[in-house]
A and B are shown apart, each in its own frame.
Chain A
Amino acid sequence: MATHEVTFPVTDPAEIMKLRAGDEVIVQGHIIGIRDRTQIRIFDQGVEPPMDLTGAFLLHTAPNVRKIGPGRYEKMCIGTTTSARMVRFTEPLGEQYSVRAICGKGGFPDEAIEPMQRLGMVYFAIVGGAAALETTQIEEIEEVAWEELMPECLWKFRVKDFGPLTVGIDAHGNSLYRDVQDRARQKLEDIYARLS
């Protein structure tokens, strides 16, 4: 298992292809905060996002913030939400907007593996609940769009040493979540045999 540093947004697809499930990743640059209602607006209501998502790293988040001026917010506590609820947006995010990385907690179900492989995308696992630490790695909230969806707006954060993240699903068809589930299901068979 290797350790990588990747700066987002990425322009070179090789930056994504070098990552393998289980690898540790530290992220620099800019990341985009997005959540359920943001993606419902983009894909179910057909509203174009007012931010460029090309090569982007999306973070599943709805931050605690304090308003400091018109369209300006200061971070209070920024953490990450459960990704599985938003898995159906993976393919259109990659296909229509060239998103390269999605980061959240708890993983994506297996239906994300094929589109991520086909479109050259990765899923990063963050440690859910570790928001105090995550907040220190976000330097600034640079931009916010769709404030009326607060806190489920579209956020642009500048980050430094964001992580450690684990590659949960890579662009080569590997998923830690699928592997863990397969092994656990086998284990359950053994346990059930013992119980009866």
Chain B
Amino acid sequence: MIKIPDIPESVVVRHGAKAWPLALAGAGLLMTGSLLSWSGDPQVLGDLSISFNPGGLQIQALALALLAVVLLLAHKGPLTSLGQWADTALGLRALATWALLFMVMVVVAITIEAGGLINIDPGGWISLLGAVLLFAAARLVLPRETRDPAEAHLPGWSEILVIVVLMAAILFGTAYALGLTDAWEFVLFLVFVTGVVIAGIRAGLLSWLGHVTPRHRHVLTLAAFAAAFFFPFTQNGSDANMSIASQILIFGAAAMSLNIVVGLAGLLDLGYIAFLGAGAYVGATLSTSAFATIGWNPPFFVVVLLGACVSGTLGLIIGTPTLRVSGDYLAIVTLGFGEIFRLSMFNLDGNNGPDLTHGPNGIPAIPDLAFGSFNFGDTHNVLGIPLARFSNYYFLLLVVIAFIILVFSRLNNSRIGRGWVAIREDEKAAEAMGVNVFGLKILAFVVGAFLAGMAGTIKAHQDVSVTPDQYIFLESAFLLAAIVLGGMGTVAGVMIGAVILKLLPEKLRFFSDYRLLLFGLLLVLMMRFRPEGLVASKRRQLEFHEEDEGLAVRVEGEFAEEVKP
């Protein structure tokens, strides 16, 4: 991140008093401009050309300005009682910086898309000017004493309300983002969201949330699932985004299962996609597809169980010999196993070994699932909103992922979870204290494989066909990256990582060529600068920063707080 140099102190002291009114004026200008027309060309970035009828981007600019006003009023004015908890000055600076970036990018986007600066209407210039003014003034606003947000206690219901509103915002934000087809609009929306989030972090809002959410863990989980549940209803029957969403859930389910292996037990598995593949192949070969090679079609829940068991057994077979050797070897052996799996599926085509998988052609035309009379391929109307094929799979996968998360977090918070932490910390000492090191590692490996196999059986039906090239090493690397990016050992982090890694490439097709390149770079940079991931598990954070004493003290305080009910 680029560091903007601080303004000399003398300037701040001399002009500090003027900063507040100036910033307010800037925010006002930004707002006024956003109500006017930005672009002479109605074809670009949605329609931004009609005054007093703001388009999507203009509404975002309005929101940024409004937030700035709220922060300003909380800094000095009627909302100070609220502002004493938050670092309003820092929050304002961050918000202003991103607002400026947002406006500059809007101007650039209109110029490029419509062909020339001439297309920018006065409203656009006014907003840009407002953003510049806001940015400059915010740099001069003096920070004040703030109180530790940990001490802020709102009534329980209002804290819950905040969580619910937050989840609703995430739901609508995601739905809105998915609806954007224009890459510029999507990127600008990302800038908007990033700006708001970073301003929240700087103002201390997120650390307050960090204190609130543990108090209402169940509410949070419930709200998150409710938001996810309502998502298909925001799509008006369009299945395009639901296809992406259900792909994300499959990916997320696999990543969550891998998280047990990597995040909890600390074992690096580089061939994990093979377990998903094993489940998928079981699902495919036992389906009623004309190309299925086994003529047995048990009920689907039997298939799910079977897929999970086959996958779990593979995990046992590969884990038993290798989990005894050092961790580095495990990474490579699992990598080798992933290749063995892919090559075997590729080869079992009847010429080289029995015909089980049709080799490179795979098993196509897998029919949709049907539970009784409920066929997953059909469109069903609920409350007048049509829910098509992918929505059906989406709901099923939501149940699966809920189950996986349940297994993950309950194992984590148990005797077994403690054993895993002990193994990660010091394997020899754990063994000497009577922890069944080998058994616990195997357990993580098998449970992870079992859950992935389960998800795989559904994937087979959702994807319609199963081929070996869906299960290459890169897919395993992606799964691992979701965990690393999001935060090893966390639920929220890994789900966020999965969403980012699957959603961005879908929406940013213009850089699809550079997708893998950026992905590789991302892994390297994450390990270098934030190895604990976007959403850090406190314990993992400690492990990655062995020398950071301050962090240890801070985390200790948070641990203590969590223990207190």
Q: Do A and B bind each other?
A: no
Which residues of A line the B interface, CB within 8 A? none
